[in-house]
A and B are shown apart, each in its own frame.
Chain A
Amino acid sequence: MAFCSEGCRTAYLAEPERYPVPDDSGSTSAAPGHAIEPQARAGAAPTMTMAPETVHLAIDGMTCASCVASIERSLKSKAGIVDARVNLAAEEATVEFAPDLIEVHELLAAVEAAGYGAAVATDDVEEDAEDAARTRHYRRLLKKFWFAAVVSVPVMYFSYPELFPGIPEKGSTALNLIWGGMAIVTLAVLLWSGSQFFTGAWAALKHRSANMHTLIATGITAAWVYSTVALLFPGFFPEERLRDVFFDVTSVVTALVVLGMALEVRARARTSEALKKLIGLQAKTARVVRGDRELDVPISEVVVGDVVVVRPGEKVPVDGEVLSGASVVDESMVTGEPIPVEKTEGSFVVGATINKTGSFRFRATRVGADTMLAQIIRMVKEAQSSKAPIQRTVDLVAGYFVPAVMILAVLTFMTWYTLGPSPALLYAVITAVTVLVIACPCALGLATPTSLMVGVGKGAENGILIKSGDALETAHKITTVVLDKTGTVTKGEPSLTDVIPLGALSEDAVLRLAASAERGSEHPLGESIVAGALARRLVLSEPSGFEATPGQGIAATVDARRVVLGNLKYMADQGVAAGPAEEVLERFADGGKTPMVVGIDGELAGVVAVADTVKADSIAAVGQLHDLGLEVVMLTGDNHRTARAIAAEVGIDRVLAEVLPEDKAQQVTQLQAEGKVVAMVGDGINDAPALAQANVGLAMGTGTDIAMESGDITLVKGSLTGVVTAIELSKATLRNIRQNLVGAFGYNTLGIPIAAGVLYPFFGVLLSPLIAGAAMAFSSVTVVSNANRLRRWKPSLAREVG
């Protein structure tokens, strides 16, 4: 069992039965952070008329198991308390009480009577509990810092009688008494301000490992012990100069390192800011239609199938499909796309996005942990805790680092003692302590994960979900980007591109009749013609006598006119002379389009063409990929003619057409065999093997779930510009990681030898342990701050826009 102080231990050993055995769960199984929740447990106490309530109290000032016991005892001694459990680690008490017998403020008074601070814990979500713990940790470190800092001022002053005026002579009783006082106050600094060094070092030592705490604890203790021995037993040290004390090393180094730790806690909280922002996006309530009423219910009570009402300015609470109404929704927080998206009946809406102009109702399709936002949060969390390959190397080094520094400190001591100038012992102690203090394993350990945290979070902000540190690291090495055509470069669905009148009727008239006839069709090509006509604001008529010949064409009667639509063979079958259309058909087919001949009342009326059109930003994205020096390859199952037409339009240099779905991965393997680092971008189920085979698989967020699972990176917005952004982000993150590593390794490889005194034989220079302490404290803060610089990173496309 761990005790905060010898006093606690003595108290426990005297009367062990008075204290509860701390169970390893931290003494309570209740999750922290839930507020007063009435519990239906009537009859727990016969005197109660009301059901007991549970309250969580935040406790301040606990240090060990005996504190837990005394608070529990104080609470349980009050009438009306059903149960009281204190969680030391979470600094929280869970109290079950009878509200008619005792009030919450009396509970607080009971805790205060036991000598601790108490407040009702806030009812916010668990994320905040962790935040609160972090804040408490930060404040405690600051308190420790201030104590050490205040002590350091007089200690430093009296440590240098040669330097400062008004100090009693060396060797005088007065100075010895002052130094004796310094020994006592610095011991207090050592044991209170520096307590975490000892607990940390001890815990690590038990596990046969060593860390920063081990080094600092050894360093500051050695300084204190040497000084105290020199003071108490001057007889041990024949030379007068050996009797110098350096209590200032103990207090100043403790102050600096504790301050560094506090600043680091602060800075590290910021590295996960992106994730917190995402979590904060979640709506708290939803307006759900129940019966004929609209009810505001907590988000957790929304179930799949609920009809949810969203008014202008409100957040869409969960994912779903619009049933009625229309609006414009700002989806930038999820997709990174700044332009709001139109939503009408049948559109998919995403939870946490903000409704702008109109009201609409939608049916919830994904709730709770299944919503897109919840999945994004999960993915970001996982990626942030995964390791980049570069870190595995660093870890390997880090595992040997601390014991190696300890060995160096011992060697330094031996060398100075054996070869150093007189007083050898003093130099040996100072240099060994300086070596221990200056080494900073934290900077090494923090270098990669902090940058990765920020980088992955930054990606999420821009609609790029990175699954692992691996993907983020590999993305900067990409040489070749393979794009799937359908759904990636193109929209993935046909749309009307051309209407050529070849008879007496005008363009609009041909389209109106053709589209009206297609209203009976369920074929995607037919639907695209209808959609194209509606987009031109044509008023369509109802067809009658609709008939379809699969693979050839359709026929229907519209406004008493016989309309036929299809290929040349179908026209021949229907008795339409379509000879003049042949040249037009050929031209469209060359352009990668699908043309259809329109015949009206047995006469050739014109040609309509549909095609899978290129996404608006594909051309710009391909251009940018080229600018980054990457080779862009398009992969498609389509015929060469269509593929080349699309490739030419977006400016792709290499096309692999007529690739069977099962061969897509094979093509990627072939490119890899050419020595290329391949990124595959795709959206379909058939792309999944290729996504998995590629060095980095990028799945379109608008595509299938299987593709997203196989990919390493998901582009939520479903735009190729995301590929550019992902590669840029990878480069920026890797640059940041390298800066951190160069800084951390450079610092240690320069700092440790200088601390050991390698400069002394040449220049007579020795590093003061005080400066070493300052350097060590700020090296890890610098690493974290550098990682935080990444938070200002913006994709180049956003920079161009403004």
Chain B
Amino acid sequence: MMDVFFVNVVGFVLIGWIVWYFWLSHSRGVAAATVDGGVQETYIVVKGGYSPDTIEVRAGRPVRLVFNRQEADPCSERVVFDAFGVAADLPTGEDVPVEFTPGAPGEYGFACQMGMLRGRLVVR
């Protein structure tokens, strides 16, 4: 009987961890660096996910996110910023800049075309 009790306790702990890890917690964001001309720039590596996947920028200033896809998996071959109406093809191994200017503050998601890889843009 002890083992049944033990398995169920571990099971619920595991469920709790899944809920917390995937839904409740967020990775800390990386603030975009401001380069010449006031453009906020961040370099993002695409490999199984976006690194970094949470980028903080200021509203009303141009943003340039440079993507470099380091895998051949077709899942990640396109990145889509639905909220800003921009998208880019990411040929393997090439730097691809994506530029836009976020208006209102808020959280905006970006993702691959299928929504498997996800990132967040936090506009302050």
A residues whose Cβ falls under 8 Å from a Cβ of B:
2, 24-26, 28-29, 31-32, 87-90, 92, 126, 129-130, 133-134, 136-137, 196, 199-200, 202-204, 206-213, 265, 268-269, 381-382, 385-387, 391-392, 394-395, 398-400, 402-403, 406-407, 410-411, 413-414, 417-418, 428, 441-442, 445-446, 449, 468
Q: B91 touches which one: A29, A126, A265, A386 (CB < 8 A)?
A: A126
B49 touches A89 (CB 8 A): no
Interface assignment of B56: CB less than 8 Å from any CB of chain A: no
11 more A-B residue pairs beyond the given contacts A385-B78, A414-B8, with a C-beta to C-beta distance below 8 A? A130-B89, A203-B48, A208-B21, A208-B22, A385-B89, A386-B85, A403-B23, A410-B15, A413-B7, A414-B11, A417-B4
- Residue of B8, B22, B25, B117 most packed against chain A (CB within 10 A): B22
B18 touches A403 (CB 8 A): yes
A410 touches B92 (CB 8 A): no
Q: A208-B21, A418-B4 are in contact. Are A200 and B92 (CB under 8 A)?
A: no
A780 to chain B minimum Cβ distance, whole angstroms, is 10
Q: A387-B82, A400-B23 are in contact. Are A382 and B87 (CB under 8 A)?
A: yes
Q: A395-B111, A411-B15, A445-B116 are in contact. Are A386 and B87 (CB under 8 A)?
A: yes
Determine the distance from Cα of A28 to Cα of B118 in the docked complex, in whole angstroms: 26
Sampled A-B contacts (5; CB under 8 Å):
A32-B91, A89-B72, A204-B49, A207-B50, A449-B113
CB neighbours of A385 from chain B (8 A): 78, 80, 87-89, 113
Q: A441 touches which one: B22, B82, B113, B116 (CB < 8 A)?
A: B116
Q: A208-B26, A403-B22 are in contact. Are A418 and B72 (CB under 8 A)?
A: no
Determine the distance from Cα of A417 to Cα of B63 in the docked complex, in whole angstroms: 53
CB neighbours of B92 from chain A (8 A): 26, 89-90, 129-130, 133
B49 touches A207 (CB 8 A): yes
Determine the distance from Cα of A650 to Cα of B2 in the docked complex, in whole angstroms: 83
A449 to chain B minimum Cβ distance, whole angstroms, is 5
Task: Please encode chain B, from 22 to 63, with 1 for each CB lying within 8 Å of some chain A CB and 0 for all others.
Answer: 110111000000000000000101011111010000000000
Determine the distance from Cα of A268 to Cα of B78 in the docked complex, in whole angstroms: 13
B22 touches A210 (CB 8 A): yes
**Residues B61-111 near A (CB distance < 8 A):** 68-74, 77-78, 80, 82, 85, 87-89, 91-95, 111
A406 touches B114 (CB 8 A): no
Determine the distance from Cα of A203 to Cα of B7 in the docked complex, in whole angstroms: 29
Q: In this complex, what residue of B is CB-closest to A383?
A: B87
CB neighbours of A24 from chain B (8 A): 43, 45, 68
B82 to chain A minimum Cβ distance, whole angstroms, is 5
Determine the distance from Cα of A541 to Cα of B3 in the docked complex, in whole angstroms: 109
B93 touches A417 (CB 8 A): no
CB neighbours of A402 from chain B (8 A): 22
CB neighbours of B94 from chain A (8 A): 26, 31-32, 90
Q: A137-B72, A400-B23, A403-B18 are in contact. Are A29 and B87 (CB under 8 A)?
A: no
B114 touches A445 (CB 8 A): yes
A418 touches B114 (CB 8 A): no
Determine the distance from Cα of A269 to Cα of B74 in the docked complex, in whole angstroms: 9
B48 touches A208 (CB 8 A): no
Q: A87-B93, A89-B93, A204-B48 are in contact. Are A407 and B19 (CB under 8 A)?
A: yes
Determine the distance from Cα of A330 to Cα of B71 in the docked complex, in whole angstroms: 41
B7 touches A418 (CB 8 A): yes
Q: In this complex, what residue of A is CB-closest to B50?
A: A207
CB neighbours of A213 from chain B (8 A): 48
CB neighbours of B21 from chain A (8 A): 208
CB neighbours of A406 from chain B (8 A): 18
CB neighbours of B25 from chain A (8 A): 208
Label chain A's interface by main secondary structure.
helix
Q: A25-B68, A445-B116 are in contact. Are A413 and B11 (CB under 8 A)?
A: yes
Determine the distance from Cα of A40 to Cα of B85 in the docked complex, in whole angstroms: 42
Determine the distance from Cα of A208 to Cα of B50 in the docked complex, in whole angstroms: 11
B114 touches A442 (CB 8 A): yes
Q: In this complex, what residue of B is CB-closest to A396?
A: B115
B87 touches A26 (CB 8 A): no
Q: How many A-B residue pairs have CB under 8 A?
A: 148
Q: B74 touches which one: A87, A137, A196, A212 (CB < 8 A)?
A: A137
Q: In this complex, what residue of A is CB-closest to B78?
A: A385
B118 touches A209 (CB 8 A): yes
B80 to chain A minimum Cβ distance, whole angstroms, is 5
Determine the distance from Cα of A386 to Cα of B53 in the docked complex, in whole angstroms: 20
Determine the distance from Cα of A477 to Cα of B119 in the docked complex, in whole angstroms: 32
CB neighbours of B93 from chain A (8 A): 25-26, 28, 32, 87-90, 92
Determine the distance from Cα of A703 to Cα of B29 in the docked complex, in whole angstroms: 47
A387 touches B48 (CB 8 A): no
Determine the distance from Cα of A387 to Cα of B78 in the docked complex, in whole angstroms: 12
Q: In this complex, what residue of B is CB-closest to A400?
A: B23
A211 touches B116 (CB 8 A): yes
Q: A89-B93, A268-B74, A392-B82 are in contact. Are A410 and B14 (CB under 8 A)?
A: yes
Determine the distance from Cα of A413 to Cα of B92 in the docked complex, in whole angstroms: 40
A381 touches B11 (CB 8 A): no
Determine the distance from Cα of A29 to Cα of B34 in the docked complex, in whole angstroms: 22
B55 to chain A minimum Cβ distance, whole angstroms, is 13
Determine the distance from Cα of A210 to Cα of B117 in the docked complex, in whole angstroms: 9
A180 to chain B minimum Cβ distance, whole angstroms, is 27
- Residue of B7, B8, B15, B94 most packed against chain A (CB within 10 A): B94
A240 to chain B minimum Cβ distance, whole angstroms, is 18
Q: A89 touches which one: B4, B43, B69, B111 (CB < 8 A)?
A: B69
CB neighbours of B11 from chain A (8 A): 410-411, 413-414
B73 touches A196 (CB 8 A): yes
Determine the distance from Cα of A268 to Cα of B119 in the docked complex, in whole angstroms: 23
CB neighbours of B51 from chain A (8 A): 206-207
CB neighbours of A418 from chain B (8 A): 4, 7-8
B116 to chain A minimum Cβ distance, whole angstroms, is 5
A207 touches B82 (CB 8 A): no
Q: In this complex, what residue of A is CB-closest to B13?
A: A410
Determine the distance from Cα of A399 to Cα of B117 in the docked complex, in whole angstroms: 10
Determine the distance from Cα of A740 to Cα of B68 in the docked complex, in whole angstroms: 31
Smallest CB-CB A-B distances: 3 pairs: A203-B48, A90-B93, A445-B114
B27 touches A399 (CB 8 A): no
CB neighbours of B48 from chain A (8 A): 199-200, 202-204, 207, 213
CB neighbours of A410 from chain B (8 A): 11, 14-15, 18
A417 to chain B minimum Cβ distance, whole angstroms, is 5
Determine the distance from Cα of A134 to Cα of B73 in the docked complex, in whole angstroms: 8
Q: A209-B118, A385-B113, A406-B18 are in contact. Are A25 and B95 (CB under 8 A)?
A: yes
Determine the distance from Cα of A399 to Cα of B74 in the docked complex, in whole angstroms: 19
CB neighbours of A446 from chain B (8 A): 114
A349 to chain B minimum Cβ distance, whole angstroms, is 29
B70 to chain A minimum Cβ distance, whole angstroms, is 4
CB neighbours of B69 from chain A (8 A): 89
Determine the distance from Cα of A381 to Cα of B113 in the docked complex, in whole angstroms: 12
- Residue of A203, A212, A418 most packed against chain B (CB within 10 A): A203
Q: In this complex, what residue of A is CB-closest to B7?
A: A417
Determine the distance from Cα of A209 to Cα of B110 in the docked complex, in whole angstroms: 14
CB neighbours of B119 from chain A (8 A): 207
